[in-house]
Amino acid sequence: MVDSKQQWKAWLYLAPAIVLLLVFTVWPIINTVRMSLLENYSGLQATAGAQFQFGLGNFLKVVRYRQFTQCLKNTCILCFLTVPISTILALLIAVALNSIKFLQKGLQTIFFLPYVTNSIAIGMVFAAMFNIVGSFYGTENELIVTAGIINNVIEFFGGTHINWINYGSSYAANIFVMVVYIVWNALPFKILVLLGGLQGINKQYYEAAKVDGTPRRRVFTKITVPLLSPMLAYVVITGFIGGFKEYTSIVGIFGETMGPPDAAKRLNTMVGFIYDSLSSNSQGRASAAALILFAIILVVTLINNQVSKKRVHY
């Protein structure tokens, strides 16, 4: 314990951090709660001196929006598809990387590239890959020329091209492209964490397993995965938190229309909904949506924690 006479010094040293936290974290959170509880709160009108009633109207409004239901659905679908897929892929890649010596550093760098690349830029590249040139902004009757590399490959093997993201594309195709993109984007961080975890596992466990003639699959499921479980829990929890805040990736591929030209906003997400509310000057509604998103993430994280209590070996 610090001597009580010296305590003011401790507070002095903490002051810069505390002030910044109060201004940029604590106050905004309090303000968000306040705005969400004021009926139809709008920043513009508030500045003009308008008074707002206290109530839960913002929350009701948000929940009743059809757009909100769509956003929630999109977010959940993307989250529950991409987090397991990317975690499993990252685990397999990390284990494979860890077991080779030749080219390990080089491959590690390549796998890490998406992490240091702007996700909008990556999105545009993906959009080009899944593209069918000639109809992106066009109409139904426009001549369609296959140009995206994915469709070229499909046609090379004798398949018919698929309208992934262009005018008239299906919701399933859109979601498929998003899943591929988000998984690819999420891999490097997960590989890095899991590879670090793998390299921290004592090699003698593997030697002991070898002496006992343990088959490879059993070594993986009974030794590697349990010993890696703290890292796995970490990437899954952060993966879900990140997944519920998905937004940039959609913009990266579809632009601000958040969907193909004929179905704008079809792929909008929770964060997208919040931004939309803000841009229409409905801070009350945006705050309510933000708190709902917060509650969802909290519940999912609590569930994750409960599961990991049983499954994770620290």
Partner 1 sequence: MKVVLQNLTKIFPSRDKKAGKEVVAVNDFNFEIPDGKLIGLLGPSGCGKSTTLYMISGLQKPTSGKIFFGDDDVTELSTENRGIGLVFQNYALYPHMTVQQNILFPLQNLKGADKLSKEEMQERAYNAAKLVQIEELMDRKPSELSGGQQQRVAIARALVKMPRVLLLDEPLSNLDARLRLQTREEIRRIQKETGITTVFVTHDQEEAMSISDMIVVMKLGVLQQIGKPQDVYDDPANLFVAKFLGTPPINVLEGKIQGGKVYIGQEAVLEVSGAEDQDVVIGIRPEGFELAETGALHCNLVNVEVMGRDVSIVSHHPASQNASIRSIINADHKTSVGGQIVRYDLKPHKVFLFNKETEERIRCEVK
CB 221 to partner 1: min, Å: 12
**Dist. CA 265–CA 77, nearest whole Å:** 15
Q: Which amino acid is at 95?
A: V
Q: Which amino acid is at 257?
A: T
Nearer to partner 1 among residue 64 and residue 216 (C-beta) = 216
CB 98 to partner 1: min, Å: 18
CB 231 to partner 1: min, Å: 13
Distance, C-alpha 105 to centroid of its chain: 27
CB 224 to partner 1: min, Å: 11
Using CB under 8 A, list all residues that contact partner 1.
202, 204-205, 207-208, 210-215, 218, 222-223, 226-227, 229, 313
Kindly give, in sequence order, each residue whose CB lies less than 8 Å from that of residue 269, ignoring residues fewer than 6 positions away: 71, 74, 75, 78, 246, 247, 250, 258
**Dist. CA 235–CA 224, nearest whole Å:** 16
CB 93 to partner 1: min, Å: 23
Nearer to partner 1 among residue 31 and residue 221 (C-beta) = 221
Nearer to partner 1 among residue 73 and residue 313 (C-beta) = 313
Nearer to partner 1 among residue 66 and residue 203 (C-beta) = 203
Closest to 191 measured CA to CA, from 148, 239, 145: 239
Nearer to partner 1 among residue 13 and residue 205 (C-beta) = 205
Kindly give, in sequence order, each residue whose CB lies less than 8 Å from that of residue 245, ignoring residues fewer than 6 positions away: 270, 271, 293
Kindly give, in sequence order, each residue whose CB lies less than 8 Å from that of residue 305, ignoring residues fewer than 6 positions away: 237
